[in-house]
């Protein structure tokens, strides 16, 4: 029984990883000088900097914007991952088990 449960858990985790690979999150800085794209597994897929903004005087501002948009994107990806985990775990539990009590919702 434990072997079956472990196998089911591994299969569920693999399906969740594949689904999160398809979750695309794009975050732009306020004026779109910088944008980043990550997937639900928190992998950075693209970083774009507006070429008109690429002047030496803007280097520090670009670095700050990158940190801000990357952190925002990673936070959004973390939320997607938590939602997927909660859903998948809930599907594995016997009927009537309230997953909200575990995840605080």
pLDDT tens-digit readout, 16-25? 999 999 999 9
How far is the first Cα of the chain from the last one, in angstroms, to the nearest whole number? 30
The H or E element that residue 34 is part of is strand 34-39
pLDDT tens-digit readout, 35-85? 999 999 999 999 999 999 999 999 999 999 999 999 999 999 999 999 988
Place of tokens 């980043």: 36
Handedness of CA 61, 63, 64, 70 (dihedral sign): positive
Grouping H, G, I as helix, E, B as strand and the rest as coil, residue 97 is: coil
């Amino acid at each position: 029984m434990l072997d079956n449960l472990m196998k089911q858990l591994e299969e569920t985790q693999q399906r969740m990883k594949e689904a999160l690979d398809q979750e695309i999150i794009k975050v732009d800085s306020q004026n779109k000088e910088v944008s980043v794209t990550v997937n639900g597994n928190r992998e950075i897929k693209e970083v774009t900097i507006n070429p008109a903004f690429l002047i030496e005087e803007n280097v520090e501002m670009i670095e700050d914007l990158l940190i801000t948009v990357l952190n925002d994107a990673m936070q959004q990806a973390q939320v997607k991952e938590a939602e997927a985990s909660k859903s998948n775990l809930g599907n594995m539990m016997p009927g009537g088990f309230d997953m909200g009590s575990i995840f605080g919702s």
